[in-house]
Structures are given as C-alpha cells and as structure tokens.
Amino acid sequence: MSQPTQEEEILAQQALAEAAGAEAGSEATGGLSQGQIVRKRFFGHTGALIGLAVFAAIFLLAFTSVGAFGIPGWWKYNHTDVSPLVNDGVPTSSLWPLAWGEHPFGQDRIGRDLFAMTMRGAQQSITVMVLIGAIAGAVGAIVGGLAGYFRGWVEAVLMRLTDVIIIIPVLLLAAVVGQIANRRDEGSWIASFASNNGVVILGVFLGFVLWVGLARLVRGEFLTLREREFVDAARISGASNARIIFKHILPNAVGVLIVNVTLTMSAAILLETALSYLGLGVKAPDTSLGLLVAQNQEAFATRPWLFWFPGLFIILICLSINFIGDGLRDAFDPRQKKFKAKSAVETSSHSSTTAPVADASKGS
C-alpha cells in the first residue's frame, strides 16, 4: 500500500492498549491539572517544538506573503502573474551571501513566480488539512461518542455505517469525492461557491470521508470510560446524559482524539497532494503543492527547481505535523515513563534536560 492508513494507527493503538493494560505512570504530578501536565510534557519534547516552530513559520509565510481571504500580501507577485523571465527563470535566492532576489524560487516557463505559486499551494494544502482535521474530528467524536455511550441500536446503526465507509479504501473514496467536489456544471449556489472556493469544498467533502477511523477510536475510548466509577457517581447524583458526556467522559477521551486528529491531518496533506497530482483534487487555474509537482515533473531535467520547492514544502508541512502529533501522543500518554526500565539510570539523569524524542508508545 502506498501510505499507512488510519486503520494502522487504530490497530497500533488498540494493540498497545491491550498489551499494556491500564497501568498509569506514577510520575510526580502533584498539584498540576491534566492540561498543565500535558503542556509541560509537550514543551519538553524537542522534536514537537521544532515541528511546531517550522509549521508556524510556514503558516505565516504562506498566508502573509501572497495574501489570503482578499487581503493582499507583502509579496509583489501572485500565483497567476506573468512577468518577464529573469535569468531564464533560475532561482535568484542564495544562501551565501544571503539574498532574496527578484524570484527566490525561480520562475516557470511562461514566467510565473514560483515563490508565489508555492505559497498559494501551501495555503491551499494547509486549508484542506485544517478543514479535514476539524470536520473529521468533530464527526468522528460525535458518532463515536454517541455509539460508545448509548450502545444498543444507536451503536449498531452508527458502527455499521462506519463499517460501510471504512472498507472503501481511503484514496478511492477520496478520489470519487474529489471528483464530485469538482463538478462545476450545475447552476446551483453550491456550484458558484465552489468555483471560487474549490479547495474549501474539497476539504469539507474529504472531511466527511475521513472521520471513520476516529469514530472507531472514540467509541472504544467511550466504551471503557462509561464503565468507570466516576461516571456511575455522576449518574447517581442525577447528571443528565449530555452532562456526563461533555463534562465527564469527553475530557478524558480528548487526548486520543487530539492525537489522532493530528495524525489524520498529516495523512490529509499527503492525500490532498496525491489527489491533486492525479487531477482529482485542486484544479488549474488555482494551484496546490501536488498540482505543482504534477505540472512540473516533466521539466525536471531542464527546470528542476520547479519540482524541488513544492515537494520540499509538502515534506516540511507533513513532517512538522507528524512531529507535533508525536509530541502530543507522548504528552497525553500516561504510560510514558514505563518503557525506560532497561536504561532507567541513564534516563533519570537525562530526563530533566533532554526530552525523549522517541517513545515506545508511538505506533505510526
């Protein structure tokens, strides 16, 4: 298979949870709330911090440089402007001496500025990613939560629905959905909206496809949590279903949800670029990172920079999201301290200064 799927993530989580049992770490966490502990752990994770910094930098660069939502950016070109070729389109930026130049990433054959195109593409990819993460997370949490909390026929219906969607390979389903999202032949309001904001439609559609894995995870989490004593206590003291779900169970399940939404987002970036590459995602005249790679792969021998920069940005975004997700997983995982038995002496002297980048609880 080409990319690890959500399915694997789920399996990894399940297998680990099964094997590990319900042992909680016996860390000294006196007087700290869950949020504070998580934050402390996350900011102690070097890889995640670097990932966060890189992603923030790319985000700012992409959205301020060429402008977004109708606000103009500080860069002089946009992704459709054609300007005369400077130095046959070779990138003008250089590391030493550090210089930016007229076209830092170079130009394509007809003189469009690659920096502007890449930034526009990164914007589109990030937008799709965030939309997918938000929608898939919300739908997955609701479906999984309802199924896990109410059991009975609600669970049967919702989980069979999940089964139906989950057996369709993600890329195939996404391709069909992407194709539908790109239909422009009707005169309805959605078509006119889509013609301006194609990428938003794409993100929304894909979000409604990718929630299934999350729903299964959240359901599993709810199934164990609803049997816990504090839920019984809440029920006996007369709390409503809504209160139990939102005040008692959800805060305990939020770790799993956040971590897996992040991982879904990193998969979403690759999915969007792959779809655009296949011609089923973002379409010209608008641009996306995958589309840029697809359009320029033939020119690799003559204008390699057209190919390098968009690909580099795909990798950077995806890598930083993966590291953030990894840091979050370590931060939310109470079993974190468990795997250091063999090198306990070594790590106890290190743990205050260097955060463990690699922890056993990653199942990616």
Partner 1 sequence: MLTYIVRRLVTAAFILLGASFLVYLLTASSGDPLAEFRASSAPNRQALMDARIDLLDLNTPPPLRYFKWLGGAAQCIVPFGNACNLGKNIAGQPITEALGFALVQTLTLVTGATVLAILIGISLGIVTALRQYSALDYGVTFMAFLFFSLPIFWVAVLLKEFGAIGFNDFLRNPEIPPTVALGIGAVLGVIAAVVVGGAAKRRLIVGGSVFAAVSLILFYFSLTQWFRNPGLGPVVIAIIGVGIGVGVTVLVSGLKNRKALQSSLIVVGIGVIAYFAVQPLLNDATGLMIFLLAIATILVGLAVGYFMGGYDRGQSMRAAAITAFLVGALVVMDRFMQAWPSYFNNSRVRGRPIATIGAGTPNIQGDFWIMSTDTLTHLVLPTIALILVSLASYTRFTRSSMLEIMNMDYIRTARAKGLSERSVIMGHAFRNALIPIATIVAFDIGALIGGAVITESVFSVRGMGFLFIDGLQRSDVNPVMGVFLCVAITAMVFNLVADLAYSALDPRVRIKA
Instruction: Give contact residues for partner 1 (rule: CB under 8 A).
Output: 1-5, 7-8, 11-12, 15-16, 19-20, 160, 163-165, 167-169, 171-173, 175-177, 179-180, 183, 185, 266, 270, 273-274, 277-280, 290, 293-294, 297, 300-301, 307, 311, 314-315, 318-319, 322-323, 326, 338-339, 341-343, 346-347, 356-358, 360-364
**What 3 state SS string does 97-165 have?**
CCECCCCCCCECCCCEEHHHHHHHHHHHHHHHHHHHHHHHHHHHHHHHHHHHHHCHHHHHHHHHHHHHH
CB of 130 or CB of 176, closer to partner 1: 176
CB of 18 vs partner 1, minimal distance in Å: 8
Q: How far is the CB of 10 from partner 1 (least distance, A)?
A: 10
Cβ proximity to partner 1: between 260 and 361 the closer is 361
Cβ nearer to partner 1, comparing 126 with 245: 126
Identity of the residue, 77 or 277, whose beta carbon is nearer to partner 1 in the bound complex: 277
Report the nearest approach of partner 1 to the CB of residue 270 (Å). Answer: 6
In whole angstroms, the minimum distance from the beta carbon of 47 to partner 1 comes to 8
73 versus 356: smaller Cβ distance to partner 1: 356
In whole angstroms, the minimum distance from the beta carbon of 343 to partner 1 comes to 6
The identity of residue 294, as a single letter, is A
Contacts of 100 (CB under 8 A, 6+ apart): 92, 93
Nearer to partner 1, 65 or 276 (CB): 276
CA distance 171 to 157: 25
Q: How far is the CB of 212 from partner 1 (least distance, A)?
A: 11
